[in-house]
Amino acid sequence: MLCKAGKWVGEVAQKRKDGTEVIVEACVSYLRNEKGNIIGMVSINRDITEQKRYAEERQRLYEQLQHLQKMESIGRLAGGIAHDFNNILAAILGNVKVATEKTTDEKVTKYLSRIKAASERASALTQKLLGFARQGKYVPAPVDLFDCVRNVVEMLEHTIDKR
Q: Per-residue pLDDT tens for 43-56?
A: 999 999 999 999 99
Band the pLDDT of 18: cuts 50, 70, 90: very high
Band the pLDDT of 4: cuts 50, 70, 90: low
Q: Report the percent of the chain where pLDDT is more than 70.
A: 88
Q: What are phi and psi of 141, to 5 degrees?
A: -125, 155
* Residue 43: predicted pLDDT: 92
What does the domain layout of the chain look like in residue ranges? 7-47, 74-159
Q: Considering the entire predicted model, what is its pTM?
A: 0.52
Band the pLDDT of 15: cuts 50, 70, 90: very high
Longest CA–CA separation in the chain, Å: 114
Q: Tell me how far apart the alpha carbons of residues 64 and 90 are, in angstroms, rounded to a whole number.
A: 38
Q: Which residue has the higher pLDDT, 100 or 146?
A: 100
E strands, the chain, are 7-15, 21-32, 38-47
Strand order of the β-sheet with 38-47 is 7-15, 21-32, 38-47
| pLDDT above 80 for 161 | no
Q: Tell me how far apart the alpha carbons of residues 159 and 153 are, in angstroms, rounded to a whole number.
A: 10
* Residue 100: predicted pLDDT: 93
User: How many residues does this entry show for the chain?
Assistant: 163
